Amino acid sequence: MQVDFYHLTATPLDRALPQIAAKVVESGARLLIVSARDDQRADLDRLLWTYRADSFLPHGQIGMGDDTLQPILIAADVNAANAARHIALVDGEWRDDALDFDRAFHFFEDAHIQPARKAWRDLNGREGVERRYWKQNDAGRWEQAA
């Protein structure tokens, strides 16, 4: 399984996450977005409907309809009721349950850099886990740094 660490420095989550989510959905896969924060989940729900003027990302919040039909499901914890094999942890908190997925995207800001570093170290040498660290260059493009 692959774990991608995204250190949000220049691009905020509301711009980075939709790009990743769109790529996951375009590939035919499903995504679970996890945040323990009620306000962040509500903001992401609105964002995915309006992030581009010419389209939206089909999604739902867990428990608000038929979760099994949602290409993207937003939840407070790791509960892939939509049978997602990709997970995005967006509140800065790493969860080991993410290792049950095929791919995890761990987004974090400077305020969560120490816990992200701990998660990075803890995943080192774990069987079947490939870690990648992404940072932004001066032009704002994501580059793999590790």
Domains of the chain: 2-144 (3.40.50.10110)
pTM for this predicted structure: 0.94
Percentage of residues in the chain having pLDDT higher than 70: 99
Report the chain's C-alpha Rg in angstroms: 14
**74 touches 45 (CB < 8 A):** yes
What's the pLDDT band for 72 if we cut at 50, 70, 90?
very high
Computed from CA positions of residues 114, 23, 139, 46, in that sequence, does the dihedral angle turn out positive or negative? negative
Count, residues in the chain: 146
